[in-house]
Amino acid sequence: MLIALAAVTAAGFVLAVVVGSTPLPLGDVLAALTRTGDPGTETIVWTVRLPRAVTALLAGAALGAAGAQMQTLFRNPLAEPYILGVSSGASLGVALVVIGLGGVGGAFTAGVAGFGRIGIVLAASAGAAAVLLLVLMLSRRVRSVATLLIIGVLVGSAAVSLISLMLTYTDPRLAQQYIAWGLGTFSGTTWSDLAVLAPVCAGALAAALAGVKPLNALLMGENYARTMGVNVRRTRTATLLVSSVLAGAVTAYCGPVAFLGMAVPHMARLLIGTSDHRVLMPAAVLLGAGTSLLCCVATQAPGSEAVLPLNAITTLLGTPVVIAVLLRSRSARMGLAV
Amino acid sequence: MPCVLRCAPFACLSSGDLRSFVPCPAPRGGGHGVPGRKNDAFPPQAVASLLKDAGGTYAWADTKGTGSTALDLETVLSKAGDAPTWLVVENNWKSLADVEKADARYAKFKAFQDGNVWSANKVLGPGGGNDYYERGVARPDLILADLIAILRPELAPGHELTFYQRLTK
């Protein structure tokens, strides 16, 4: 089953490179890949399509893993990587940079163009890191994960309302730039961005895959895990850290990517039929990557020149699929086992 | 009326000799906005018409619809990557380094490599407002004069640009 998933992901990657909003014949794409073709096509394939496909692969894998971790940690089927406000924190960082403190004029109306791409990435990372620190600090004082979940959701809501406040009093053009960022994209990354994103994602994914045994114990409840010798507090901190790094890195480079983090673990669980994280985690990673690549192809709207917003596609494509899968599956009808 | 008197000497240029090429569109967030037949402040068909009157062509000149379209970078690269001139209205782009800061891949455009990027941000108000959208809307002849000076410099020697400035390193 894992091999089948890997094959689907590989096929998805190939599709993402071959298909795009500009129709390019397959032969031209292959020539461009071997650097023997037309330089214009080569530029498109190497600077636009390949980075986009790699980003989609990494983002899907990262969000799938982070989603599985969050759902197990909080024992909640609606949990997802952004539930503790990581993406809200990143959005707040970007909003501060893009929209500024509103109404001050001059220096603060710089917008995206004033700070450049690096500024946006740094602001998003800083925002996500700030929220993560806050949540980790609170996690030490709070005993139950349910309380932590509530606090995290509230912190996320507070960040979102601050953003709404800023959006109300700002120039519509800047608000539009911020909203465009919030729609998410895989197309904004260059190879130098990937030189940072890839190692961070790979490292965090390795950590996620290595930490599967305590998660299996946590499935039965924290007290049971304690009797099995698992250090619950340390596991909680480590899991929060890894999943927030995954979610934060993806958000910093791609904007908030909706839906994948929540749907992919469910689809993985239904596909492999077990909640054993030793199988579930790799399955979530592969399935996340494959789904993300397919969404990436869909956003390119092959045949038309326009590009569709990523979050709309992930949610619109994903929702009916997950509902159909849930309705079909017998085990799901009897209640989702997390 | 001043508009008619000023437009007349330039009107003869729009007769058929469409030599210069396609200016590239301005970036907007994740997509790359391309003015269709209408721009934020301008009435329909103004942008493409102005370019055509100045002797340029525009890859998306036959786009229907109002407002900007968001395009993928690969579409823009394939249709307009070789364009000799890049015209943009971006308040914060004062040099080529600013352009590259926004997205490193803009350096792949031929117009960027030749240093032929022009931004209409020469006159900015104290609050950050761009005069291109204020005076420019009322005086399209000034914009047209600027475009002619940029696209066909031999026709307007010594013209002082009102709204556009060339972006240098």
**Structure confidence at residue B46 (pLDDT):** 64
**Structure confidence at residue B104 (pLDDT):** 83
CB–CB of A192 and B73 under 8 A? no
CA A216 to chain centre: 23
**Structure confidence at residue B7 (pLDDT):** 39
Tell me the per-residue pLDDT of B26-70, one tens digit each, with 9 for 90 and over.
433 334 444 432 233 344 356 667 777 777 776 666 665 555 566
CB–CB of A109 and B128 under 8 A? yes
ipTM more than 0.90?
no
Backbone angles phi, psi at B28, to 5 degrees: -140, 105
Looking at residue A318, its amino acid is: G
- Domain A2-333, CATH homologous superfamily name and number: ABC transporter involved in vitamin B12 uptake, BtuC (1.10.3470.10)
In b/e form, how buried is each residue of A9-45, taking b as 16+ CB within 10 angstroms? beebbeebbbbbbbebeeebbebbbeeebeebbbbbb
- The mean per-residue pLDDT over the stretch B112-117 comes to 87
Tell me the per-residue pLDDT of B116-168, one tens digit each, with 9 for 90 and over.
888 888 888 777 677 888 888 788 888 888 888 888 888 878 888 888 888 88
The least confident of A242-251, B70-79, B106-115 is B70-79
**Structure confidence at residue A293 (pLDDT):** 92
Distance CA A181, CA B30 (A): 6
Sequential DSSP letters for A242-259: HHHHHHHHHHHHH----S
Which residue among A48, A109, A117 places its CB closest to the CB of B101? A117
CATH code for the domain defined by B2-6+19-166: 3.40.50.1980
Q: B75 to chain A: which residues are within 8 Å by CB? A: 21-22, 305
Residue B2 burial (C-beta neighbours within 10 Å; 0-12, 13-18, 19+) = exposed
Order the strands of the B68-71 sheet from edge to edge.
B26-28, B31-35, B68-71
Per-run averaged pLDDT (10 residues), chain A, 338 residues: 85 84 80 79 86 94 94 86 90 83 40 65 88 86 85 90 87 79 86 89 93 88 85 88 92 89 88 86 93 89 76 86 72 52
Across B29-130, the runs of DSSP E, i.e. the strands, are 31-35, 68-71, 86-88, 117-119
- The mean per-residue pLDDT over the stretch B72-90 comes to 80
Helix, strand and coil content of chain A, in percent to the nearest 5, comes to 75, 0, 25
CB atoms inside a 10 Å sphere around CB B18: 13
CB–CB of A47 and B105 under 8 A? yes
CB–CB of B127 and A176 under 8 A? no
Interface test with A, best of B34, B72, B75, B90 (most A CBs within 10 A): B72
Give the SS3 label for residue B34: strand
Tokens representing residue B71 in the block: 């395009």
Is pLDDT at B84 greater than 90 in this prediction? no
| Residue pair A121/A193 in contact by the 8 Å Cβ criterion | yes
Q: Where in chain A are the domains?
A: 2-333
Q: Where in chain B are the domains?
A: 2-6+19-166
Which residue among A40, A106, A180 places its CB closest to the CB of B30? A180
**Structure confidence at residue A148 (pLDDT):** 87
In angstroms, the separation between the Cα of residue B12 and the nearest Cα of chain A is 34
> Residue A35 to residues A11, A29, A31, A41, A45: CA-CA distances in angstroms?
22, 10, 6, 10, 10
CB–CB of A106 and B128 under 8 A? yes
- A vs B, Cβ pairs < 8 A, gives 104
